[in-house]
Amino acid sequence: MVSENGSDGRVRPARPGDPSRIGPYRIVGRLGAGGMGTVHAGVRSDGTRVAVKVVHPEQAQEPEFRARFKREVELSSRVTGPYLVPLLAADPDAEIPWLATAYVPGLTLHQHLLAHGPLTGGSLYALAAATAQALAAIHTAGVVHRDVKPQNVILTPGGPRVLDFGIAHAADGTSVTRTGVMTGTPGWISPEHYRTGTTGPGSDVFAWGALLAYAATGRPPFGTGAPDAVAFRVMSGEPDLDGVPAPLSQIVEKALAKEPDDRPSAAEAAQACAELLASQVTQVLPAGAVSDTAVDMVTALWDVPAEADPAWHVPPVRPRSKRRLAGAVVLVAAVVGGLAGGVAALMPGDTGNGERTSSAAPPASPVSSTEAARPSADTVKDATAEGEQRAAGEDSANAESWRQARAAQGEGEHAVANALLHDLDVLARDISPVELSVGAVKFHSSRGEIYFSYSLDAEDEHGIVYAETEIARSMCLTLNDVVLRLHPELPYRTYATVREEGGRDPLVTWREDFVVDAQCRSALEDGTDAAFDTGPNWEPDENGLGEAMVPSTDGTEIRVADRAATKIIERTNSMRATLGTDQVLGHDEIKVGFDPASSAMYVWSDYLMWNQGQIETWADMAAGEACRALANQRQTSGDGWPYTRYAVAEIGGSGYLMIRWGSVTSQASCST
């Protein structure tokens, strides 16, 4: 996010128009600027120094950016660890969104190598162990970094720190959009990212391997040059590891495997690097001189010259009363026993995170599924009968199966429980006027069920319906993040939400198979039957367009969107004479995405040079192509393809305009 010359900790004077205060922070100058926005030097009233990142105003007007920024801030707030720069606070809903991280002094790895040359000896092994442990902590929390590169690792006097975890791709656009268009930094993109546009924990490990090769040699392992040449070498060539120490080279070579399944996990890489680091410690220091934890070993061998850290204009500290931090204790599962020593319990204040992160619940992704147990006003009324259960059938989750369930056991279950408690605690602050009290997470391994209990303080039936829908949606999204991607070894595939009320049996309010419903389509946005409407009265709206702008991780959605966007772009350029367009348009101007909540595919353009007649002519063509794309996929996938609607929109500086929309009944129903 920051320009390279602005990440060295030097506070530059504020410029005309810069704010004097952002959130709880007094702004004392600038640290840098980049493609996303400006990084201000800020101080809290107690003197804590922070980096406050404020997005460009024009990006703040883009629904796509806001939706992605909000989701990534929420994900990032889960992550904590000794080699990360903690997210302290954020306001993605502000007129100009911002986030604040702890300030850490030092050069980036890229700057350090330019100034001092490659890392050697213990410092190189310390970098390997610390950054691998940082990625393992990120992945354990259900987050994928997506932008591991030398500019995002800072070498502080106390050891390396990994920057911008989980928000880098929202900030810099280094991810695949729903149209399949990818940008990024050549040489730090994994083969699968190039091939299919997908990223995951394995992609971070690949970039980590490239990072270590660069740190050891001063050369990117796949060379430099034209982006397509670098991409070809990444996908087909062998990395240049000449100069990487032999023990470390073996780990790096595995990390740079072409297929994600052939790479170690970040936790496995961290364990291997910790063992190498331990051997370095025994060679350099006398036995017993340092404990065998990874943190102590990194500190013992870290030998990177400290850069001058200029004094900030810090306001005087004023006495104030201590305030209690609300919310649950964040439990971070250990990467491996020897690295973190089991499960560490950290309050936000223990890592310097004196602020609560402001963020909303994850975005909705609903469409009906056959097994959904949607709350409705009638059901809420009926729920007053003691012991009544929402899910029917002898095998459905019920009060007795909830009582039989147990607390989390093992690293994977603890990771799931921690993520759920965190995300639902965040949700509890965002569903006013309903008061949500977060209860417990329990596991029933023989039934393959994960339970979450809660209580609500609300009298309005529709408010209860809304709250219970939001709880189910948040739980489904979190389990998709943590179970399906990070801990697929766990035996769970069903979640159940359980409402607890004094003097009554627990009431199962929702039960869903989150493996079958991997897109969380069953949790309707408003909990009403209106959201199921597939008739001609449906109209697209801003919420649907914003959801369509959120990048997809579904391979089928990406393929369909890419084909549709490519076809629409080809036809747009063939119509340049009719449309009066001199410019050849591409994926930067025309995009396609999906809103699962309304089963709709959106096509939008931000090309503003057409007049009203030309934009309607273009929209007629785009609507026909969108309709055919959906009809073709429905014919291929049958009833398993959920998207039956399409909408075409134009986005300009002052907002958006919905131009054409409709429903797909057959290929013949699509216009030409």
Residues known to be catalytic: 147
Residues 139 and 266: their CA atoms lie apart, in Å, by 8
Strands 344-346, 494-499: pairing is unpaired
E strands in 3-136: 21-22, 25-33, 37-43, 49-55, 87-91, 98-102, 107-108
Q: Alpha carbon of 20 to those of 14, 52, 135, 172, 516: distances in Å? A: 9, 12, 35, 26, 50
In this structure, which amino acid lies at residue 515?
Answer: V
Residues 374 and 221: their CA atoms lie apart, in Å, by 52
Q: At what angle do helices 201-217 and 246-255 cross, to 10 degrees?
A: 150
Nearest to 547 by CA among 199, 71, 96, 174: 71
How many whole angstroms from its chain centre is CA 560? Answer: 23
Count Cβ neighbours within 10 Å for each residue of 640-655 and write b for 16 or more, e otherwise: ebbbbbbbbbbbeeee
User: Which residue's structure tokens are 């929390």?
Assistant: 141
Per-residue HEC secondary structure of 602-630 comes to: EEEECCCCCCHHHHHHHHHHHHHHHHHHH
In this structure, which amino acid lies at residue 413?
Answer: E
16's tokens: 């005309």
Is 520:477 a contact under the CB 8 Å cutoff?
yes
601: enclosing H helix or E strand: strand 600-605
Nearest to 314 by CA among 41, 672, 574, 641: 41
Strands 25-33, 37-43: pairing is antiparallel
Task: Give the list of residues 6+ apart from residue 362 with CB closer than 8 angstroms, or none.
Answer: 71, 74, 423, 473, 474, 477, 478
Sequence-separated contacts (24+) of 8-15 with Cβ below 8 Å: 8/107, 8/111, 8/307, 9/103, 9/105, 9/106, 9/307, 9/309, 9/310, 10/310, 11/41, 11/310, 11/312, 11/313, 14/40
450: enclosing H helix or E strand: strand 449-457
Nearest to 475 by CA among 430, 524, 435, 419: 419
Count Cβ neighbours within 10 Å for each residue of 103-136 and write b for 16 or more, e otherwise: bbbbbbbbbbbeeeebbeebbbbbbbbbbbbbbb
Query: Coil, strand or helix: which one is 195?
Result: helix
Side-chain half-sphere exposure of 282, counting CA atoms within 13 A? 6
Count of C-beta atoms within a 10 Å radius of residue 458: 17
Is 270:132 a contact under the CB 8 Å cutoff?
yes
Residues 467 and 661: their CA atoms lie apart, in Å, by 30
User: Which residue's structure tokens are 């970040």?
Assistant: 266
Query: Coil, strand or helix: which one is 380?
Result: helix
DSSP string covering 481-524, please?
Answer: IIIIHH-TTS---EEEEEE--TTS--EEEEEEETTTTTT--SS-
Residues 210 and 151: their CA atoms lie apart, in Å, by 13
